[in-house]
Amino acid sequence: MRQSVFVGLLILLGATGASARSLEAIRTRGALTLCAHPNALPFASKRDVDPGFQVEIARELAKQLKVALEQHWVVNSFQYRRADCDIIMDAIANPAALAEVGLRMSRPYQRSGVALAVRADSGAASLADLRPGQRVGVQVGSIASMTLSKRGIQTSPFVFEDEIMDALAKNEIDAAAVTPAAIGWFNQVHPDAHVRRIPAFEDDPDLNWNVAVGMLSPDEKLRQGLDAALEALLADGTLARIYAHYNVELRSPK
């Protein structure tokens, strides 16, 4: 499993030379194309069972548009640059930042960010409860890493979130700064772990964000179509059901 930083994906996708497809072109072609990682549960995977919430949500969006879903698997910059996708999921909903990399966004549909994970036997209820010398696992070069270092908290860098969670379970670190999705999924596949989630960064705007569907220069009809599809999936509980299948909470965007 590789729960990678999807901001990097956005930047690289924005550098592609792929042409955008209009809603009419997508319907004529009969398929909406998703770019996703093939091995990054709970986000996305090539597995037929539990393909990840990004894939499942994209399938429902395609149904709403009355087309099939086609998936392009991307794992490195070489593939990103050749990607010919219509959408990516979990784009951080910052219109200005997305515009800089050539993407537009749908309406936000989920609230994400960074939380603190601790083992079941930890007495910590906040960052202030960490004792001197205790270490927090972070993604290398992340904002969470910089934030904790500024506060004088010792950190240990990792590349992927699943590596951080494994290190936490093995007592190699004392806490983990990861997404709520990573914590929920870890507890689902390790039911005896009972890792606790502490909302340690709720007041930090840099560590909380809305997510949306990222689109490669869509026409207005495609943007409106995806917005309407998301509205319908939120209203009938489909998005909440999909997230719950991966032990992830659907949170309203702010």
pLDDT in tens, the chain (254 residues): 444 444 444 444 444 445 678 999 999 999 999 999 999 999 999 998 999 999 999 999 999 999 999 999 988 655 655 778 899 999 999 888 888 777 889 999 999 999 999 999 999 999 999 999 999 999 999 999 999 999 999 999 999 999 999 999 999 999 999 999 999 999 999 999 999 999 999 999 999 999 999 988 779 999 999 999 999 999 999 999 999 999 999 999 99
Nearest residue to 142 (alpha-carbon basis) of 129, 128, 160, 126: 160
Domains identified in the chain and CATH numbers? 23-112+208-246 (3.40.190.10), 115-198 (3.40.190.10)
- pLDDT for residue 13: 45
DSSP secondary structure of 78-143? HHHHH---SEEEEEE--HHHHHHTTEEE----EEEE-EEEE-TT---SSGGGPPTT-EEEEETT-H
- pLDDT for residue 76: 64
- pLDDT for residue 80: 55
CA distance 144 to 105: 24
